[in-house]
Amino acid sequence: MTNQSSLVLAFPGSNFATPTTERADFPIAMRAPQWLKRAREIVETRFLEPLSLAEIAAAVGVHLVHLSREFHRYNRCTVGELIRRRRVEHACDLLKHSDLSLAEIALACGFSDQSHFSMMFKRHMGITPSRFRKSVAMDVAALQTAS
């Protein structure tokens, strides 16, 4: 029987860690302390808000340097990287399912402006937000004509 406690794995070539279940045969399998799980939970639920490392550290009762070090150790990404990844994922949903402008999506996802949003989106997704939106629209059109 496998232990189903939460942990995170990082894959070679990936900028981000992926949550998974603990496996004894995987070398970086580690159990995160409760305060660290709470810190990740704060990030996961409040990524659209302005969120500082000091604010998260205070909420979980640890020093911000300790939080930063342990967060990276267990999650294989920094707090800021996780926030940006969640914001880009949210932007993908908005690009797929809304007609909001790129500037409106940038602000809705917590980016300071459209330029910063576009730069982060391309860094994480490999294409620009406008190309992403166009490719989604072409996929939908192809599915509709195939039906």
Please, are residues 97 and 55 in contact by the beta-carbon 8 Å criterion?
Answer: no
d(CA 60, CA 56): 6
Pick from 76, 101, 125: which residue ends a domain? 76
Q: Domain for residue 68, yes or no?
A: yes
> Taking 90 as the threshold, does the pLDDT of residue 146 lie above it?
no
> Taking 80 as the threshold, does the pLDDT of residue 27 lie above it?
no
> Taking 70 as the threshold, does the pLDDT of residue 12 lie above it?
no
Tokens 């932007």, residue located: 91
Q: Domain for residue 97, yes or no?
A: yes
Mean pLDDT of 13-20: 46
d(CA 39, CA 61): 10
> For 126-137, what is each residue's pLDDT tens digit?
999 999 999 988
Please indicate whether residue 5 or residue 134 has the higher confidence score (pLDDT): 134
End-to-end CA distance of the chain: 44
Tokens 């300071």, residue located: 112
> For 81-117, what is each residue's pLDDT tens digit?
999 999 999 999 999 999 999 999 999 999 999 999 9
The pLDDT score that the predictor gives to residue 114 is 97
> Taking 60 as the threshold, does the pLDDT of residue 124 lie above it?
yes
Q: Residue 12: which domain range?
A: 6-76
The pLDDT score that the predictor gives to residue 24 is 44
Q: What is the CATH number of the domain that holds 117?
A: 1.10.10.60
Please, are residues 88 and 124 in contact by the beta-carbon 8 Å criterion?
Answer: yes
What are the backbone angles phi and psi of residue 23, rounded to the nearest 5°? -125, 130
Q: What is the CATH number of the domain that holds 55?
A: 1.10.10
Using a cut of 0.85, tell me whether the model's pTM lies above it.
no
7: β partners: 20
pLDDT band for 142, please (50, 70, 90 cuts): confident
Q: What percent of the chain is predicted at pLDDT more than 90?
A: 70
Q: Are residues 67 and 99 in the same domain?
A: no
Please, are residues 92 and 128 in contact by the beta-carbon 8 Å criterion?
Answer: no
Q: Is 21 helix (H, G, I), strand (E, B) or coil?
A: strand
Mean pLDDT of 3-30: 43
Per-chain mean pLDDT for the chain: 84
